[in-house]
Chains A and B, each alone.
Chain A
């Protein structure tokens, strides 16, 4: 081990209680930052889950649509125009809307109804664990996620319920289709959905367009826009960006997540800075001795920065273990915390940067050290 690293490490562990407190501070800071960033990634993924799973090359959406759950409507007849367009293989309507689900014990709970043409590829429920997709084409049939069965007050496949006072029957059960809010998704046939939500047949929320192999999406998009009014034509990537942007930045959710992460960074940096400062102050005579025997400032700064980096690495390693547990615990929740390898790397670099930043106060202090103090009696 390089001597500078050994000196830094020994200086740190010399006062074990203080070192433990420092590491705990860093661990909490890193866990907070990681959870916030992991929530952000989970949120990013969850808010676009429907767009990600739709078999659509282009989305025709009402002008000004902000996100997938936006209940604005467009003229459904435009699906026929789209289908007739050169390069388009299929165009199917999707209707989306909020509705009240009557609970067996009394009262209601809101649900997001997704009405889709279950016979086409469009936007169909995925990860079916019970029932069949074809069953959704039958009257009043719905698909719900098994994680919502309790919340909706239904036992399982075949259970009956009411949406907007109209009977529905659970004909399929999915696994892992969860909304980032607590509002469950309920899939049903598009015509059934219109009937349940009072949306006329002439209207739809979106039209999902599939292109023929080799078709240029941009050319088709320009062509569609030229023949349609009051709509936008978005690629899935554009629709994802728009949805994320809306939920993260227009609702304040992103500010809360980033604010929490920033708070974690500040807390961690301040804790390490405070510890390093007091540890340096306590060992000022040693730094003065180093200076007196001819050490360069760079070497002394190196000792302090090594102390900060050792604290950061140990704190990060412990935080990473805790984070792994949190990821596992939240995997099946409404908002899973997702930690990717790039995020882990970014957080490690952040921990190191926090360490270096926190060393500044100690470095400023040691810069002022007068080597003559070694002669003090």
Chain B
């Protein structure tokens, strides 16, 4: 059993204030371990994105503890949280969020640049990450010149290039057709074979179940069920 790359212990999160106050998370505990691809599923409004934001150090929990790469987020200010994200988290977004003015290689290199990794070594790492996601021949292509699936691959390359232990993906296949969606999940499964990395995917899409080692069901801010998947036999 590998150590958790990201772990939540009894976290609650209250959003808004006064009459608009909503308790989005109600005592959630979970851990994503290295070598694991976990799906976080649940209906709209169940708190999936809030949980992903808390696990990804974008939001601090109202109570409870979050450990990312073994480091607690407690007491960290905005810069401290950004440092944790930089050191330990790779994000993949539903709408990719690539920089349209930079080519694929530079989009990936940006994740290294913000970590002060520059020069030829950074260029080589970015190219290697793109090669890993099957885009070795698209390094000079701009997002506008790439298909949706290719853009998401660039986003995955950006997430993995700095060797972050926790890869958090928010509906990574929602904007893709079935074929591209499967290709992306195959890629994420491959990434999760590395035992130093764990992947947590937020999704509505039941077609992704075959790719998961574990499925976590969230409803109304609580984990209501966890199940091991066949993929865990791999």
Contact = CB atoms under 8 A, between A and B. Distances in A.
Contacts of B158: 293
Interface stretch (A183-191, A199-207, A283-291, A318-326): A283-291
Given A3-B106, A6-B106, A14 B91 contact: no
Interface in A1-58: 2-4, 6-7, 10-11, 14
A119 to B, nearest CB: 74
Contact of A296 (B52, B102, B114, B159): B114
Q: Which 6 A-B pairs have the closest CB atoms?
A: A294-B86, A10-B101, A294-B85, A295-B114, A289-B97, A3-B113
A4 B158 CA distance: 16
A297 interface: yes
Contacts of A176: none
B58 A292 contact: yes
Contacts of B109: 3
A201 B109 CA distance: 86
A371 interface: yes
A285 B97 contact: yes
Nearest to A291: B82
Contacts of B52: 375
> Which of B52, B110, B158 is the most central at the interface, judged by chain A CB atoms within 10 Å of its CB?
B110
A249 interface: no
Given A297-B82, A299-B114, 5 more contacts: A7-B102, A286-B97, A289-B93, A293-B91, A294-B111
Interface string B106-139: 1001110111001000000000000000000000
Interface residues of A, number: 26
B83 interface: yes
Nearest to B87: A294
B22 to A, nearest CB: 15
B97 A294 contact: no
Interface string A286-317: 10011111111101000000000000000000
23 contacts: A3-B106, A3-B118, A6-B102, A6-B106, A7-B110, A14-B100, A285-B97, A286-B99, A289-B93, A290-B110, A292-B85, A292-B97, A293-B91, A293-B158, A293-B159, A294-B82, A294-B89, A294-B115, A296-B114, A299-B113, A371-B58, A374-B97, A375-B53
A293 B113 CA distance: 11
A276 to B, nearest CB: 16
Interface of B: 49, 52-53, 56, 58-59, 78-79, 82-87, 89-91, 93-94, 97, 99-102, 106, 109-111, 113-115, 118, 158-159, 170
B186 to A, nearest CB: 23
Nearest to A2: B118
Contacts of A374: 91, 93, 97
B111 A293 contact: yes
Given A11-B101, A375-B53, A293 B85 contact: yes
A10 B110 CA distance: 14
Contacts of A375: 49, 52-53, 93-94, 170
A370 B59 CA distance: 9
A377 interface: yes
Contacts of A295: 82, 86, 114
A338 B91 CA distance: 57
A289 B82 CA distance: 11
Nearest to A288: B97
B161 to A, nearest CB: 10
Contacts of B93: 289, 292, 374-375
A370 B89 CA distance: 17
A343 interface: no
A372 interface: yes
Nearest to B116: A299
B151 to A, nearest CB: 13
